[in-house]
Amino acid sequence: MAEVVLFHHALGLTQGLIALAEDLRAAGHVVHVPDVFAGQVFDTLGQGVRHAQEIGFGEIIQRGVRAVDGLASELVYVGLSLGVLPAQYLAQTRAGARGAVFLHACLPRSQFGPAWPKDLPAQIHAMDADPYFVGDGDIEAAKALVAESADVRLFLYPGDAHLFSDRSLAAFDPAAAAVLERRLLDFLASR
């Protein structure tokens, strides 16, 4: 059993994200789902990203830090798109991380430290033609992490949807999401 912190994407804490958390709990994991948007949910990525910009990306990371204050240090950090900001920051900077999973995004490792933590396993999941993941350079950051650490794996799925794992969104891809969730559950089972 793993203790997981699941950070939401730019649309906020959607029903699809809540359902993913419930699936992880049903598999026996303890799952915390911080709401860094304080209850706000958006209909479009543009609206959510504008809200995140108003808050400030640094503040989103700090809200993530505050969300884990008081929790055990042996956590697995999971972030979806915008949620990768606090998930990756915490995985790289908070001692004791048991693993990290980045869905639909990945930041350059150098943004949060000089090196990826030794022996920290991680998974990165995205579609191979996702215009945000590919077009914004996340794929290069992911490939660099994989090259740097034998404990980091990149999984690319065919398609161009960004948030394909969120079953409450039009971008949901049931086949790809099922494979992603199986890989995520296998990863958590080994933490």
74 confidence band (pLDDT: 50, 70, 90): very high
With a cut of 90, say whether residue 114 has pLDDT above it.
no
How does pLDDT run across 18-66, given as a tens digit for each residue?
Answer: 999 999 999 999 999 999 999 999 999 999 999 999 999 999 999 999 9
How does pLDDT run across 120-137, given as a tens digit for each residue?
Answer: 999 999 999 999 999 999
Q: Which residues form the domain of 74?
A: 3-189
Instruction: Please give the tally of structural domains in the chain.
Output: 1
pTM: 0.97
42: domain CATH number is 3.40.50.1820
Residue 78 CA, distance from chain mean position: 4
How does pLDDT run across 92-113, given as a tens digit for each residue?
Answer: 999 999 999 999 999 999 999 8
Residue 162, C-beta contacts closer than 8 angstroms, at least 6 positions apart: 45, 81, 104, 127, 130, 131, 132, 133, 171
Half-sphere exposure of 63 (CA within 13 A, CB side): 20
Q: Environment class of residue 43 by beta-carbon count within 10 Å: exposed (0-12), middle (13-18) or buried (19+)?
A: exposed
Tokens representing residue 160 in the block: 């161009």
Which stretch of DSSP H or E encloses residue 187? Answer: helix 174-189
How does pLDDT run across 149-169, given as a tens digit for each residue?
Answer: 999 999 999 999 999 999 999
In the structure, how many helices (H) and strands (E) does the chain have? 7, 6
